[in-house]
Structure 1
């Protein structure tokens, strides 16, 4: 892998999608006979330990005092939103098929685009809005019962 690939947001986003897909499949199998909230706790513990080991091995820890109050606040809010998302996601996986739960969960793509534009001042061109519209249309096709 070249340096260019490792510094590409597209590479990391696609890799994230692969891992998110595996997450859905592994979680669906894992939650079959486990309470979804307890399954979320186990998953969170694995993530916490894995990240701590990664940071230790790569020396990426930074002093807590170097983090601004604003960053702390928004990382706290992000953590709370992540926890709520995971609780809802595992409950949905317990109740429904992974092949439908995961795509509906990805409605977050549409919401991120809308929030990015309205809250962060990001701009999307017509082609990008069409893509967001197609994702929305695909979601509607998945959830509408014939």
Structure 2
């Protein structure tokens, strides 16, 4: 079931890039994210309330709070940086470079989460980095 959620996340992320790029015309990138963040906050809390998970907040452990808050900070920074890049660069180029985060996530997962590094992950990471370099070095429109 995780693969369906991952594919839906990928589709949603792609739509975010395209819709954000279209919406950034004559709008400051930080303001655009602030507008979207209000919706993110409202929709996410509505889902939590609908699912009946709000009472679980008090059972979250201290370490989990620290990790979740840190992840929230980095999510915010990542999105602010991404929107700034989208405001001045072509979406297809920006998202290609930005998605090098996948390779960094693989490395960090192996180091900190002790996930197994397989030859498929290595080859896939090399292909992603190679593709990003190829796209970054090409001229827009080529």
Q: Quick check: TM above 0.5?
A: yes
2:125 is aligned with 1:129:
no
Secondary structure in structure 1 of the residue aligned to 2:25: coil
**Corresponding pairs, count:** 139
Query: Residues 12-27 of structure 1 correspond to what in structure 2 (within 5 A)?
Result: 12-27=5-20
CA-based RMSD of the aligned residues comes to 1.2
Partner Cα distance (2:88, 2:55) in 1: 40
Identify the match of residue 68 of structure 2 among 68, 75, 93: 75
Partner of 1:101: 94
Secondary structure in structure 2 of the residue aligned to 1:129: helix
Cα distance per residue 1:74-131 (max 9 Å; x no partner): 0010000001001101000101011111111110000000111112111121122101
TM-score by length of 1: 0.90
2:27 is aligned with 1:60:
no
Partner Cα distance (1:14, 1:119) in 2: 25
> Unaligned stretches of 5+ in structure 1?
1-7
> Unaligned stretches of 5+ in structure 2?
none
Once the 2 structures are TM-superposed, how far is the Cα of residue 64 of structure 1 from its aligned partner? 2.6
Once the 2 structures are TM-superposed, how far is the Cα of residue 49 of structure 1 from its aligned partner? 0.5
2:112 is aligned with 1:140:
no
Partner of 1:46: 39
Partner Cα distance (1:45, 1:127) in 2: 39
Partner of 1:85: 78
Secondary structure in structure 2 of the residue aligned to 1:34: coil
Partner Cα distance (2:136, 2:74) in 1: 24
Partner Cα distance (2:41, 2:74) in 1: 16
